[in-house]
Amino acid sequence: MWQDVHVMVYIGFGFLMVFLKTNSWSSVGINYLLSAWAFQLGILFMGFWHLTMKGEYAHKIDVSITALINADFAAAACMITYGALLGKCDLFQLWIIITLEVFFFALNESIGIVIYSAVDIGGSMIIHAFGAIFGLAATYHFKNKEAIQQHEWKAVGGYVSQYVAMIGTVFLYLYWP
């Protein structure tokens, strides 16, 4: 299961983010960098918040296969946000946003799972809704008027970029079940 989630985050989301012609191939590299960063932070922050919510302050952060899968889920939420921010901010801004998002994602996930024992089949609330809402909230702060004026030439996809984005969509579709 970890391998399937890993393929979705790195290949599925990586190629899905090629949909804009102006950011096509650089978005794949940025996806790899940000996903790896979010994955590492996910292990640390989710371990920290899980231990904090359980009141086990003296224990070590667990690095098990479950922790790795949950860290991949944190990276997936960040890639949903990245899809909303693509073309609006640079790599440094994305790095800061992803760091903050993983911190708050881990807090949100720990509250839902540890405290309320919520069952989230498919990650619709914790992963998808959090990533989408965080991404939409973050887009509000990045050059709205400028983006609206330049949407004619910046927010378009070319034939090749749309074709490659479809390959990413197929990978996400195949590996999600």
Structure confidence at residue 150 (pLDDT): 60
What pTM does this model have? Answer: 0.85
Structure confidence at residue 152 (pLDDT): 60
Structure confidence at residue 1 (pLDDT): 75
10-residue block means of pLDDT along the chain (177 residues)?
A: 81 79 78 94 94 85 90 92 86 94 95 88 85 91 66 63 76 75
- CA-CA distance, 108 to 121, in Å (whole number)? 16
In angstroms, the first-to-last Cα distance of the chain is: 10
Structure confidence at residue 81 (pLDDT): 94
Instruction: Report the Cα 65 to chain-centroid distance in Å.
Output: 19
15: which 2 tokens?
Answer: 């190629």
Among the listed residues 82, 110, 103, 85, the one whose alpha carbon sits nearest the alpha carbon of residue 9: 82
152-161 in b/e form (b: 16+ CB < 10 A) is eeebebeeeb
